[in-house]
A = this chain, B = another copy of it.
Amino acid sequence: MEGAPANEQIASPRRAPSQQRSRERVERMLAAASQLIAEQGSDAMRMGEVAERAGVSIGSLYQFFPDKRAIIWALAERHTTEGQACISAALADVRDAEGLGQAFSELVDIYYRLFLAEPVMRDIWSGTQADKALRQLELADSRANAEFLTAVLKRLRPAADPVALETMAFLVWQMGEAAMRLAVSVERQEGDRLVAAYKRMALRELLTE
């Protein structure tokens, strides 16, 4: 972006809303940002437009978000939080290889549907590499999710090298995200095939000794 001096650091934090009124306004800001990202992508999202659509002044926007990236980051963080809860629940009571296969397969389907339905998620995670803070968030999220998987794997294969299991889980998870991004950027039919191929490949890796 441009405007203020190119700031490589993470921007200074802002006050969190403490009153009911401001909390509602912050919600409106996030909702407006989400809409605009869905319509045009985060790059084309204009701060002035976010403020206008949220019915607040540009100054109010910057009262709670230090800069543009911070809004995007806040939306991304919500998705990761929701996602982790979902994944944790799905993998919590896996007891055997069959259960893992079942749970993993369902998770992939859920995520694929999410990617297809949520342009915001797609947009945010695709811009991930360019933004240090987002990249960190995505890596942390991926590690956290991979850890749920690792825990299951360690339970199923107590004799295996733990580091190898961690590496495999992390890799499989990251590849899933890559497969999703790829799948939604080609024609639907090919996307379906790619996701199915990923699922098969990941399961073979996870379930084979």
Contact = CB atoms under 8 A, between A and B. Distances in A.
Interface of A: 1-3, 6, 8, 41, 43-44, 126-127, 129-130, 135, 139, 163-164, 167-168, 170-171, 174-175, 177-179, 181-182, 185-186, 190, 193-194, 197-198, 201, 204-205, 208
Contacts of A44: 6, 8
Assembly of this chain: how many copies? 2
14 contacts: A1-B2, A8-B44, A127-B130, A129-B181, A135-B185, A167-B190, A167-B197, A171-B194, A171-B197, A171-B201, A175-B178, A178-B178, A204-B204, A204-B208
Nearest to A3: B2
A164 B178 CA distance: 19
B171 A179 contact: yes
Contacts of A194: 167, 170-171
A69 to B, nearest CB: 11
A62 B202 CA distance: 47
Contact of A178 (B135, B168, B174): B174
A201 to B, nearest CB: 5
Pick the most buried of A130, A163, A186, A190: most chain B CB atoms within 10 A of its CB: A130
Given A167-B194, A174-B178, 11 more contacts: A2-B2, A41-B130, A129-B181, A164-B197, A167-B193, A170-B194, A174-B179, A174-B182, A175-B179, A201-B205, A204-B204
